[in-house]
Structure 1
Amino acid sequence: MSATPFKICGLSTPETVDAAIAAGAAHLGFVFFPPSPRHLDPAGAAPLIARVPAGIGRVAVLVNPDDALVAAVITAGITILQLHDTGPDRVAQLQSRHNLPVWLAAGVKTRADIQAAQIAAGPADLLLLDAKAPNDAPLPGGNGLSFDWRLLAQTRPARRFGLAGGLGIANVAEAVRVVQPALVDVSSGVEAGAGVKSVDKIMAFASEVRSA
């Protein structure tokens, strides 16, 4: 059985992009959302994205983006759009317009949230389940929080889904065994500080995923 694919999200330096590639990440994520400490502008991201070999997903993390931003990140070399705070109509529109995979990220705290997320995702190529952000949080994800994975034993999405939220070196192997998602996604769990990825932590996270 092959290892669960993983995504290293919020990359912002050549060294950590190279580390994620060397660690075997299936996808690399780049954040285009100014409130985030991981934010990049499309022009600044382009040289980092260019380091990513063909065959590895180059994912733009976008929060209710306008058409101009979507076009700019695609020009920068993005191959997958990951949307937050949007719905099925926008997912379908961007799939049709750009002929790219679109993921929908949704926050989870309760079983009802999982059910609502499936509806919101509509035709999305992947539903990414994250911990629901606190009401006062400036970011919809990347907050280092996890949700109760046992909810997925009771209400498992009837579609391809990934797991995010509070994953790190200490718990990702358990998450893979318990949840068996199509993808695991880490951001703050491999950081040395807010928005600053650690090469050593990226490598250790990859090792834990493979161990599961």
Structure 2
Amino acid sequence: MRKLINSGLLMVIALLLTGCAENKAKLTITPYTMSEKELELMSKTDVEQIDFFYVNGSLEKGKDLRFSVEMYKNGELAGELLTTHSEIQTKFDDTLISFAIEKFEEDEQRFLKLVAGLPSGKATTYYANKMTASTSTSLIHEKIELELNKPVYLSVWAGTTKNELRVIGSENGEFPQGMDDKELAFLYKVVWTNDEMTE
């Protein structure tokens, strides 16, 4: 009987420890809404679009947050830009991340400046811009909890050289609908992943 009680106690302790580990590993992302003053300040810049988000939680050993921008051409994935991860940071307390698109001209050529604001800084790249119209939006509208190895799409920018451009929508971080007819699109995403997958 004593062995049965001891086994039961060990099982309860193991379950409690597992529950604590799961709680410790919880990661959430919440959209940050800019005030009217902040929006006014942004309107005085060449930034076409910017979305901010809070990251909260902590990473357990062997796990990481991987950030990247997926590029789509004519609805097809054409590569990833600004790929990075947060291996040097494991705790997040209202840590701001962001995605911005800025118009940029040099020697009569037009470019888009893509800026991914990361927990430890930012990553930037330029892309030739021949688009004549564009749309952009945040893809999450409330706090969401990350799931291991499931990408969360945070923000999107899409452009066209045609006269029409349909709005892009998402079910709070899911891959957005309406991507199939976009000439050029950039999706900012985050994945909570195993550390070895970030190599």
Higher share of residues assigned helix: 1
TM-score, structure 2 normalization: 0.24
Query: Is the radius of gyration larger for structure 1 or structure 2?
Result: 2
TM-score by length of 1: 0.23
